[in-house]
Amino acid sequence: MAVEFRMPHDVVYYESDVTGKLSLPMLYNLVILSSTQQAIDLGIGPDYTHEKGVGWVVLQQVVTIKRRPNDGEKVILSTTAKQFNPFFARREYRILDADGNDLVVMDGFFSMIDMNKRKLARIPQEMAEAYQPEHVRKIERLAAVDGIDDDQTIDYKKEYEVRFLDIDSNHHVNNSKYSDWMVDVLPLEFLTSHEPTAMNIKYEHEVLPGNQVVSEVQVVGNTTKHRIMFGDTVSAEATIDWTLANN
Amino acid sequence: MAVEFRMPHDVVYYESDVTGKLSLPMLYNLVILSSTQQAIDLGIGPDYTHEKGVGWVVLQQVVTIKRRPNDGEKVILSTTAKQFNPFFARREYRILDADGNDLVVMDGFFSMIDMNKRKLARIPQEMAEAYQPEHVRKIERLAAVDGIDDDQTIDYKKEYEVRFLDIDSNHHVNNSKYSDWMVDVLPLEFLTSHEPTAMNIKYEHEVLPGNQVVSEVQVVGNTTKHRIMFGDTVSAEATIDWTLANN
């Protein structure tokens, strides 16, 4: 039975957006913080993976948001490495309020890459063992992203350049940046009158410092469909479900 | 004698840059976090100021950096509201390592504005009292910024649009964004081979969501001179001193 890991976290003002609630990109940062901290505690953190010449890659994250925590709120970050096979891992994340109620529930799908060859690598056996996960032949995939419809017009688009501070200490564009570009392209009036309730994001191709990407959106009812393009290549795609905010 | 306030903080990966050290913008976020937390503890935090219809404005910050803390490092944020007069306040910040040694020392110069009229406001007397500062007729100003020389060419410049997530819960562009734009415009090779040792930044005119700003730099020896322009208006100016990084 996989071991759940928990850590406390205080949401602070620079993790919040103009609504005073945890921003979507910071939500992605917080969950990765918890799994990195679990790995460090188990002795299989960044020092271990760097030494092995491998690194975790997030392939997809499916999140349900019951309530975004507020600036100043004390929350608990919970994560469980659920299932492993030699090449893929599936993880569950939760952000809980101080009373232990779910605020955010997320499934994450990961693989490992060889940092030099930049291709898929086997997950080291002892690393998988440390999490005491369920070993499975085939890991159930997450729901496909119901992405942008090329027969319909793009409602909003904007160009972004990958910045120095978008790169984290793993020398990659921080995953949270994709959701940043996806949110930013929406009109301010939309963002201040709507609250995200769910998001399904799939990371397809990595972008690098100095690259120019285009964030595209189609609005379909209460769902926005997103795509980050690098030239003709889809770098990431997502759907976000929204409800009217109680302002 | 003004009361020093201290709070612990763990530097996390999304507060670090590609070097694995606390990023410059996050350094500015951490110090403001400590003074906001001190104000909350004294009952004169954001709830109090919002009710009074006033808000703090950072005018200038002069920082000396002995060593940037690393991702994962436990630090102590220290702040002291040193001097007040009816319109201005001067504060000292320190970021200390776990043994209490200075990593970062900063002087900050603040005023208060009326949030509706958007003009200078008196600092409420009871608010100043709560900090037990030294009351002075004239607060010593910080060293002037030795800014860009208009007779010399600009070495690097880049345009930035104020993004949704640049706006914090005070409905202002987060102060840390100015340093973000100032750093980002420098070449990647420069940023990965140099380490900042000091910065003097003066905030002149606020920019708003959707505004286009231009970040300009002149490199003069080991100093970079910066300016954020909004049209013909100087929004912020700064100098950063650098040393060669020990990579």
pLDDT digit string, tens, across residues A171-198: 789 999 999 999 999 999 999 999 999 9
In terms of domains, do B161 and B130 share one? no
* Contacts of B234 by beta carbon, 8 Å cutoff, 6+ apart: B204, B205, B227, B228
Domain limits for position B236:
156-244
Which residues in chain B are contacts of A165 at CB distance < 8 A?
Answer: 17, 23, 25, 180, 183-184
Residues of A with CB under 8 A from a CB of B: 12-14, 16-20, 23, 25-26, 29, 32-33, 36, 40, 71-72, 163-165, 167-169, 171, 174, 176, 180, 183-184, 186, 188, 191, 209-210
Collect all residues with Cβ–Cβ distance below 8 Å to B151 and sequence separation of at least 6: none
Task: Name which of A13, A188, A190 to mutate to probe chain B: the one with the most chain B Cβ atoms within 10 A of its Cβ.
Answer: A13
Predicted confidence at residue B247, as pLDDT, reads 62
The partner residue sitting opposite A180, judged by closest CB among B33, B72, B165, is: B165
In a domain, A146, yes or no: no
Single-letter residue type at A190: F
pLDDT of residue A185: 97
Residue B142, both tokens? 């910080």
At residue B136, the pLDDT reads 87
Residues A200, A131 share a domain: no
**B20:A169 CB<8 A:** yes
Q: Are residues B13 and B119 in the same domain?
A: yes
Output the six-digit token pair for B53: 């219809």
- Between chains, do A183 and B191 touch, taking CB under 8 Å as contact? no
Between B23, B168, B180, which is nearest A13 by CB? B168
Calpha distance B204→B142 (Å, rounded): 14
Does residue B149 lie within any of the structural domains? no
Gap between the Cα atoms of A199 and A58, Å rounded: 15
DSSP state letter for A165: G
Q: Is residue A150 part of a domain?
A: no
* pLDDT one-digit tens code per residue, A59-116: 999 999 999 999 999 999 999 999 999 999 999 999 999 999 999 999 999 999 998 8
- Decide if B164 and A72 are in contact by the 8 Å CB cutoff: no
Measured between CA atoms, the residue of chain A closest to residue B34 is A12
B18 in helix, strand or coil? coil
Categorize the per-residue pLDDT at A8 as very low, low, confident or very high, splitting at 50, 70 and 90: very high
| DSSP state string for A116-159 | TTTEEEPPPHHHHHHT--EE-SSPPPPPPP----TTS--SEEEE
> How many domains in chain B?
2
Decide if A220 contacts A233 (C-beta within 8 A): no
Residues 6 or more apart in contact with residue B193 via CB below 8 angstroms: B244, B245, B247
Instruction: Mark yes or no for CB contact B180/A167 under 8 Å.
Output: no
Q: What is the CATH number of the domain that holds A46?
A: 3.10.129.10
**CB–CB of B169 and A71 under 8 A?**
yes
B187 and B124 in a common domain: no
Q: Say what the alpha-carbon torsion angle A215, A219, A222, A228 is, to the nearest 10 degrees.
A: -20
* Res A118: pLDDT: 84
Residue contact B174–A14, C-beta within 8 A: yes
Q: Is residue B142 part of a domain?
A: no
Residues A191-221 have pLDDT tens digits of 999 999 999 999 999 998 889 999 999 999 9
Count of C-beta atoms within a 10 Å radius of residue B4: 12
- The four Cα atoms B166, B167, B172, B174 give a dihedral, to 10 degrees, of -40
pLDDT tier at A247 (50, 70, 90 boundaries)? low
Structural domain contains residue B212: yes
